[in-house]
Amino acid sequence: MSVLIGLLAGFFGGLVGLGGGIVMIPLMVGILKVGQHKAHGTSLVALVFTGISGAFTYGMKGSVDLTASLLIAITGIFTARAGAHYANALAEWKLKRSFGGFMIVISLLLLMKPYLPQFGQLSMGWGKIVIFLLTGIATGFLSGMMGVGGGSIMVPAMVLLAGFTQHTAQGSSLLAMVPASIVGAFTHWKLGNVNLKLIPGLIPGILIGTFLGGSFAHLLAEGMLRLVFVAMLIWMGVKYFRSTVTQDDSF
């Protein structure tokens, strides 16, 4: 069953550049009965391989910006540890609601992208560097706390603020999530929040699924891929936004 979960998570992660944690975590909790904190930590271990496989697949198509990925990763590795500790110590429902609202707003902005000014053309030099570094700060914390890759922040930031195509933003996102996922996974492991028994099944599924998802993504037109990404983002946003005090263990 863990192989199938990895396959599904990898496919959707490779398809939309989100890492797959949003699929993996609820399946581990609901089907395998893994505790929420252990699901987060175990997800981050698997996301390391999602990022590597996905970045390789997108890179083969020329859809990875190494500079952007490096700059995002530089700050992300520092905040990932803080996010993991925060998840281990605090209830998450209030942050989930806020983050859910944020994702819904971002989804609307992505849908309106063709009608918005081309901010990416104005963000040159130091402007883009600052955008990527700030994106990494938010991404790392989110990754460590929620057990996800952070693509829901990285991809919109690269598309809307840096002028990237959807394909390049997703490929760069998958590469950038690797260092932060490693730091977050290690921190969760030290806190006892990793189920090592599931890893041998998750990794093969992740590697195969991510390759298939990333390959399929390049068969879709730019606009269609953005719609798929937005649909996934809205689904995530609604799930987070509906979180309550009695549901703070649900995704």
**Which carries the bigger pLDDT value, residue 227 or residue 150?**
227
Average pLDDT for 115-121: 53
Query: Using one digit for the tens of pLDDT, what is the confidence trace for 5-37?
Result: 888 888 877 777 666 777 787 788 778 888 777
Query: Using one digit for the tens of pLDDT, what is the confidence trace for 157-168?
Result: 888 888 888 888
Which sign does the torsion angle of CA 175, 13, 192, 89 carry?
positive
Q: What share of the chain in percent tops pLDDT 90?
A: 2
In this predicted structure, the answer to whether residue 251 has a pLDDT above a threshold of 60 is no
Helix axes 36-60, 199-217, angle to 10 degrees: 40
39-53, 77-91, 124-138: which has the minimum mean pLDDT?
A: 77-91
**244 DSSP assignment:** -
50-59, 195-204, 224-233: which has the minimum mean pLDDT?
A: 224-233
Average pLDDT for 111-127: 60
Average pLDDT for 165-180: 87
Average pLDDT for 125-147: 81
Q: Are 35 and 88 in contact (CB under 8 A)?
A: no
Taking all residues of the chain, what is their mean pLDDT, rounded to a whole number?
78
d(CA 149, CA 209) in angstroms, rounded, equals 16
65-74, 76-85, 93-102: which has the minimum mean pLDDT?
A: 93-102
Categorize the per-residue pLDDT at 250 as very low, low, confident or very high, splitting at 50, 70 and 90.
very low
Q: Number of C-alpha atoms within 13 angstroms, CB side, residue 155?
A: 31
Scored b (16 or more CB within 10 A) or e, 226-242 reads bebbbebbbebbebbbe
**Which carries the bigger pLDDT value, residue 67 or residue 236?**
67
Count of structural domains, the chain: 1
Categorize the per-residue pLDDT at 117 as very low, low, confident or very high, splitting at 50, 70 and 90.
low
Count of beta carbons in the 10 Å neighbourhood of residue 38: 20
pTM score, whole prediction: 0.73
**What does the DSSP assignment read for 178-223?**
HHHHHHHHHHHHHTT---TTTHHHHHHHHHHHHHHHHHHHTTS-HH
Query: Using one digit for the tens of pLDDT, what is the confidence trace for 216-230?
Result: 877 877 677 778 777
For residue 70, the model assigns a pLDDT of 92
Range of the domain at 227: 2-247
